[in-house]
Structure 1
Amino acid sequence: MSATANPLRGEAVLRIGGTAHVLRPSFGALVAAEAELGPLFALVERAADGRLALGELAGLFWHCVRDRPAELTREAVGEAVVAQGLAAVTPALRMLLGQILQGR
């Protein structure tokens, strides 16, 4: 598994437990995120308004982890977000949201 993100695909890197993981907003990942978090456009609007909840952010990241290893837990994703701080993970969020809005 390569931890190199392709920005042309809307990919970003998130460090979780000292390991770099690629976040890729694939169709399957976004469908799963939408099933849990509600319509993606509403998610983007909440993010733009500064109303995106920490659980929603972690949920979006969780669903978008490419080649997610079996030992990786959703809690670890949330803890990584908290440990790094919102400012540090905002570029990854921005990349994913941009891909949701623009597509390929």
Structure 2
Amino acid sequence: MSRAANPARGEAELRVGGIALVLRPSFEALVAAEQELGPLFALVERAAEGRLALGEMVALLWHCVRDIPEGMTRARFGEAVVAGGLAAATPVLRAVLRQILSGR
């Protein structure tokens, strides 16, 4: 089991499928997300304008998961995010986007 999220390190916690996942937008995670999604500043702008697609949100969060549980696939993660409701994922997304802009 992974340790709790540490906000001082820019980490946030997201519960999906009954599992608490720690998300940390590390350099490596953000580079991987950028390679898939394009420039991160454009992603932040789309989010600010309410134009961030569900697939983009799931991809960004997936890349930031600190320790992926055994058996958890990206598809299962995406389904669990949707099942948990976008309202539950939004504060975590906001924290990740804040980290992209401000860094730690």
Using structure 2 for the length normalisation, give the TM-score: 0.93
Distance 1:101 1:62 in 2: 18
Distance in 2 of aligned mates of 1:17 and 1:87: 15
Matches within 5 A, 1:1-104: 1-104=1-104
Deviation at 1:58, TM superposition (A): 0.4
* Counterpart Cα distance in 1 of 2:94 and 2:23: 12
Offset of residue 3 of structure 1: 4.2
Shift in Å, 1:15: 1.4
Q: Once superposed, which parts of structure 1, at least 4 consecutive aligned residues long, lie more than 3 Å away?
A: none
* C-alpha distance in structure 2 between counterparts of 1:3 and 1:52, whole Å: 30
Contiguous gaps of at least 5 residues in structure 2 = none
Structure 1 unaligned spans of 5+: none
Determine helix, strand or coil for the equivalent of 2:22.
Answer: strand
* Identity percentage of aligned residues: 73
Deviation track 1:51-93 (CA, whole Å, cap 9, x = no partner) reads 0000000001110100223421001111122112111111100
Give the superposed CA RMSD: 1.1
